[in-house]
Structure 1
Amino acid sequence: MKKNKFLNVSLFFFGIIFCSHFVAQNQSFKYELAYKPNPLKDSVILEKMVLDIEDKNLSIFRTEFEKKSDSLIAKTGFGLGRKPRFEDQFYIVKKLPNNEIQKSIQTIYSEIFSIKINEKLDWEILPEKSKIANFSVQKARVNYGGRNWTAWFATEIPIQDGPYIFNGLPGLIIKISDDQNNYIFNLTEIKNGDKNVYYRNKGSELTWEQFKKLSENYYSDPLSRIKATGAPIKVDDGKGNGVTPDMKVYTNKMKKRIKENNNPIELNHKIDYK
């Protein structure tokens, strides 16, 4: 993967400003997530992610697209589209002082569910140090979700947070990846945050077992509720035209995508779709 020189320069200069004059205000940290939806294939999906931190007490990690949608919902009541696969959703809300972490899932029917993350992060801080952009970083390891992760954190940024659920190190996490490189998070930009941070409501809380049942029911017939209403369904024909698909063919295509792209970040909660 090619390095983005512009982003490295951006981090270089921000590192000088941020570390010399830290201001207690909302901060926004942009990350690039590169992940493999299928570990047996070489294809990689790139997502632009944002970690918004409000008053050092609350942080929300989500895609830039989801952040825009949350803002639109707060202002107009209407948001943007949703991802059809649960395995591709990385929306996390952390209440930092209490170390409360919720993973948010939204269905194509706009239902919101949350899963409380109780798995403890037992960090091992290592003596190895390095440089990323202008930041002096230190290495740490942790096991989460059935994966072994290596992180690089910067103590000069006094924020004990990072991308996704990762937090608790004595400095911001600049980079973190699992040992198979199925998931790689890289910090790309730092900026002052918005005055108001809009984010999803908590929704209905689920256990992992209940989430498994939700996922299996959805997989069995992803469009069942839409078909039950009799409402017409249109899909893009690849040329920008809306066409009515063969529902059986389209449903089987969705099921195939879910089954083949089944590489969740919480590998210990992987669902065996049949």
Structure 2
Amino acid sequence: MKKISLLLLAFATQMVFAQANRFVYQVTMKIDSTDKATSKTEIANLDISAGNSIFYGENRMKRDSIMSRMRQTGSFNFNRDQMQALRSNIDYTISKDYKTGKKLYTSRIQRDQYAYEEDRPMDWKILPETAKIGEYKTQKAETNFAGRTWFAWFTTEIPIQDGPYKFSGLPGLIVKVEDDKGDYSFDLKESKKIDAIANMEQRGSVITVKRAAFEKQQEQFRKDPTAGLTSGGRGGMRIQMDPTQRKQMEDRQKEEMKKNNNPIELK
């Protein structure tokens, strides 16, 4: 009976997502653990086709679009205030392959693009509590992932086992998910048909590593934010800096990191 139910769900999913769909989430983040009264809000998209999905920040897509146009035209004049306004805490993409179950996390550390396959299972406990969220009837579920306890509300009215960020595996789309401390939340705000899922531009080669190696590289960057610029990273480009410039950049980036001390994944 369980196999039949899964087959029916898979068939319904193919019917619903015969064309691409975009689910728009509002992401609320408290990135500074010393200032829980302040939160940042961004919009992120979950684009879904019949066999895969991609989750990404809207600001990231807008920045990439601007940079792509500048490279095509050869004109690198841009509005610094506009680009600053498009800075994002969702500066990563997460691709999911429905056939294999693989989740690929891709992010930039300085000038290098890294990707790793998520290797931790997401085990859900479905709870009896239900709620009406927007137009959807939802049911609550709980999981522990990456050092946080998460509560999700999913709807079987959209028969797809996916959701924002790395969340997936429930018998319906995740409409809302938040951690028990109220530091992070993802809330579905809109859904619409699209011609095709987003094709996020990746400049240069992507370095595929294990998750532990990515986290080690990220930690090294936090300790010395300018190392990749002055050494050239794996791309080989080296930026010459005098000691004063290096110190100013290092101080600025370390100050930003000091306020960005409450990551979505704690371990």
Q: What TM-score results when the alignment is normalised by the length of structure 1?
A: 0.74
Match among 12, 37, 41 for residue 31 of structure 2 = 37
Match among 196, 200, 215 for residue 212 of structure 1 = 215
1:52 aligns with 2:47: yes
Instruction: Please give the secondary structure, in 2, of the residue aligned with 1:251.
Output: helix
Give the conservation status (yes or no) of the 8 Å contact 1:90–1:164. no
Instruction: Please give the secondary structure, in 2, of the residue aligned with 1:120.
Output: coil
Deviation at 1:86, TM superposition (A): 10
The residue that corresponds to 2:96 in the other structure is 94
The residue that corresponds to 1:129 in the other structure is 130
CA–CA distance in structure 2, aligned partners of residues 23 and 207 of structure 1: 31
The residue that corresponds to 2:109 in the other structure is 107
Deviation at 1:208, TM superposition (A): 3.1
Deviation at 1:218, TM superposition (A): 1.9
Deviation at 1:223, TM superposition (A): 2.6
Give the conservation status (yes or no) of the 8 Å contact 1:86–1:215. no
Describe how 1:141-160 pairs up with structure 2 within 5 A: 141-160=142-161
Instruction: Please give the secondary structure, in 1, of the residue aligned with 2:171.
Output: coil
The residue that corresponds to 1:186 in the other structure is 187
1:161 aligns with 2:162: yes
Question: Residue deviations 1:60-95, cap 9 Å, x none?
Answer: 001012234556778886799799x99754421111
The residue that corresponds to 1:249 in the other structure is 248
Give the conservation status (yes or no) of the 8 Å contact 1:30–1:187. yes
After superposition, the CA RMSD in angstroms is: 3.2
The percent of aligned pairs where both chains have the same amino acid is 33
Instruction: Please give the secondary structure, in 2, of the residue aligned with 1:185.
Output: strand
CA–CA distance in structure 1, aligned partners of residues 192 and 167 of structure 2: 20
Give the conservation status (yes or no) of the 8 Å contact 1:82–1:107. no
CA–CA distance in structure 2, aligned partners of residues 149 and 52 of structure 1: 22
Give the conservation status (yes or no) of the 8 Å contact 1:102–1:114. yes
Instruction: Please give the secondary structure, in 1, of the residue aligned with 2:189.
Output: strand
Question: Residue deviations 1:222-246, cap 9 Å, x none?
Answer: 234445645589xxxxxxxxxxx85
Q: Which amino acid aligns with 1:48?
A: I
CA 1:34 to 1:86, structure 2 compared with 1: closer, same or farther past 3 Å?
Answer: closer
CA 1:93 to 1:76, structure 2 compared with 1: closer, same or farther past 3 Å?
Answer: farther
Between 251-260 and 194-203, report the one with greater CA deviation: 194-203
Deviation at 1:212, TM superposition (A): 3.0
Between 72-81 and 128-137, report the one with greater CA deviation: 72-81
Instruction: Please give the secondary structure, in 2, of the residue aligned with 1:267.
Output: coil
List runs of 5+ in structure 1 lacking aligned partners.
1-20, 234-244, 269-274
Between 23-32 and 212-221, report the one with greater CA deviation: 212-221
The residue that corresponds to 1:7 in the other structure is none
CA–CA distance in structure 2, aligned partners of residues 77 and 97 of structure 1: 36
CA 1:82 to 1:50, structure 2 compared with 1: closer, same or farther past 3 Å?
Answer: farther
CA–CA distance in structure 1, aligned partners of residues 189 and 151 of structure 2: 18
Q: Which amino acid aligns with 1:40?
A: T
CA 1:77 to 1:120, structure 2 compared with 1: closer, same or farther past 3 Å?
Answer: farther
State the number of aligned residues: 234
List runs of 5+ in structure 2 lacking aligned partners.
1-14, 232-237
Give the conservation status (yes or no) of the 8 Å contact 2:60–2:90. no
CA 1:200 to 1:124, structure 2 compared with 1: closer, same or farther past 3 Å?
Answer: farther
Instruction: Please give the secondary structure, in 2, of the residue aligned with 1:118.
Output: coil
Instruction: Please give the secondary structure, in 2, of the residue aligned with 1:215.
Output: helix
Give the conservation status (yes or no) of the 8 Å contact 1:37–1:44. yes
CA 1:71 to 1:89, structure 2 compared with 1: closer, same or farther past 3 Å?
Answer: closer
The residue that corresponds to 1:259 in the other structure is 258
CA 1:193 to 1:260, structure 2 compared with 1: closer, same or farther past 3 Å?
Answer: same
Give the conservation status (yes or no) of the 8 Å contact 1:137–1:152. yes
